[in-house]
Amino acid sequence: MCGIAGYLVHSYAEDMSPILKGMADVISHRGPDDDGFFETRTKSSGHHVGLAHRRLSIIDLGTGHQPIANEDGSVQLVFNGEIYNYQSFRDELISRGHQFKTASDTETIVHAYEEYGDRCVEHLRGMFAFAIWDARRDRLFLARDRFGKKPLFLYQAGDTLLFASEIKSILQFPEFKRCVDRQAVWEYLSYRYVPGPRTLFKGVRKLQSGACAAWGNGKLSEWSYYTPPDCGISEAGLVSGDVAGSFLELLEEAVSIRMVSDVPFGAFLSGGIDSSAIVGLMSRHSEYPVKTFSVGFSEGEYSELRYAKTIADQFKTEHHELTVSQNNLMDELPALVRYRDAPVAEPSDIPIYLLSVEARKTVKMVLTGEGSDEFLGGYPKHVFERYVNQYQCIPSFVRSGLLEPLVQALPYRFRRIKTAVHNMGLKDWHERMACWFGALSYAQRRKLVSPEFHNSIQAADSGFKLCRNNSALRNILCFDQTSWLPDNLLERGDRMTMAASLEARMPFMDHKLAQFASSLPDNMRVRGKRTKWILREAMKQLLPVEILERPKVGFRVPVNEWFQTSMRDYLYDHLTGPSSITNNYYNKDTLGKVLQEHVSGRQNHEKLLWSLLTLEIWHREYSMSA
């Protein structure tokens, strides 16, 4: 796991080395073990070309220095990620005449590019973002893995092209002018994260997951090489045999190939079925006790440590627990906004970071349960979405005049029912997808923002395409796999772990496992109210009933209570105080009402208020005017 950055620039300073080094230094947390640089000029146009790399050594500690070149030095690569099939792929490439000088997974990409060109990405099983300079063709080639586990940001203006693992590297370029993209702010209020390809920095965009880009002859082109299987027309049919056994076999293989490492590693363990399954399968393939790491809260009702301890005891892991409090979270928040180069979408980002710091004391890599919900159907929304059409057949005067007001008046403990009833009433599919995350509908956003702000943005196509012949479950999973995962959960996971110089690997996001899951009938993923049915079936012989039957809890941080008590003044100061930057975005009466309803306990607006708070902190940390 590493960090990469680089540029392709015309008519600039003769010595670009200090700029390239600066782009690498600001992401040193991604790779504290080593750095490397490559600089050249294009033959045809005289553009400066620079590649930078920061290394976190996991595989081939001695000879894995980057950039890595081919035999004659005409192909230069910087790479962030891990290739899990590199050993068998290396043998294949050697049989085709390629000569290797290292034992690293990185070098397989160099020779795969020589052998297969741009289609080399189709042969890689792993997580990756990389840049290749091809001197023979005066061409820069960029690629990102199928599901967007590893980030890659782009900035293009005239003859300048910048790229990096994190936006902060792009900010180091002297000619880059920081400016807020108000359209991205508007979308952030809808999603509570910025959906790709936009970012909050105007002009900086994400290379989308499963996509490539190439610069040649002065032009940049981008294209997609992979579409998640749930985004295509379903090929699910009748299944026979031991389906749960087949699923378990694929999951176990995905776990075992991610345990290849030349450094100590472990696993994050929450006590839920996903991370428990990973730890159980790791135990089958480890000669030594698996190192496990869990985090809980000083507020006992929010802590899941006892469930994690159950699994740790069962599999005799070397278990580590971390308990955090409100002070831990608030002390770290501004720093984590800087690590993410964006608002921290959820309070749970902070304990994940603190757990990563704790884990990094003894390991350099962990396996996690990330991705299970988005491929197997693990959220309440995956249950409720299937009943939207029936709900919307209820006469409007009954829904909006009677049912919805009654439900919204229920106490907070009924929050999932309240969310479901509100969202199932939204007819626009794209709006509903965002609101399942607890964000704002169009009407709510329009009421919150000031007229001046609303007039500064434009109506825009969301970019998500529904497959009309697919089921409601497949469509919502498609949204999860192309937006919610790469732009929110995976972005969070990458930044919070890499901030602590820790690599995270995600077996549930193996693309072969995803293909198998997509081939199953819907009721093998969500059956009635039972989520992740196939995983629960596969784990019956491995995990206790207490874990298998646990309802979806989520990683809750008690900011609701904090905003009403100890953090009340902090919240008001940031959103309405004289130093507030984002206050100009909002209708002050609407914002005041939201704050008053929350602190009085009449309504719970914790998700909205957290989003607004971290958006304000982002503006302050980057000195951005509204």
Q: Which residues are catalytic?
A: 2
Give the end-to-end CA distance of the chain in Å, rounded to a whole number: 35
CA triplet 504, 245, 530: central angle to 5 degrees?
Answer: 75
My answer on whether omega of the bond before 67 falls inside 30° of 0, hence cis, is yes
| Tokens standing for residue 39 | 């600089």
Q: Position of tokens 């039972």?
A: 530
H helices of 436-551, in order, are 442-448, 451-455, 472-479, 490-498, 511-518, 533-538, 545-548
Contact by Cβ (8 Å): 108, 90 = yes
d(CA 43, CA 415): 62
Q: Which two tokens stand for residue 98?
A: 């390629």
Minimal CA–CA distance to 297: which of 268, 340, 327? 327
Query: Is-contact 309 295, C-beta < 8 A?
Result: no
Residues in the chain: 626
Q: How far is CA 572 from CA 24, 593, 626, in A?
A: 37, 12, 18
Pick from 536, 539, 620: nearest CA to 575: 620
Beta-strand runs (E) in 88-181: 126-134, 139-144, 153-157, 160-164
Task: Give the whole-angstrom CA distance, residue 509 versus residue 372.
Answer: 7
Burial 217-229 (b: 16+ CB within 10 A, else e): eeeeeeeeebebb
d(C-alpha 490, C-alpha 368), whole Å: 11
Rg (CA), the chain: 24
The two tokens of residue 243 are 């389906």
Pairing label, strands 211-216, 265-268? unpaired
3-state SS, one letter per residue, for 145-159: CCCCCCCCEEEEECC
Helix (H, G, I), strand (E, B) or coil at 424: helix
- Residue type for position 412: Y
Burial class (CB in 10 A: 0-12, 13-18, 19+), 611: buried
Contacts of 434 (CB under 8 A, 6+ apart): 190, 191
CB 344 within 8 A of CB 607: no
The neighbouring-strand residues paired with 164 are 5, 153
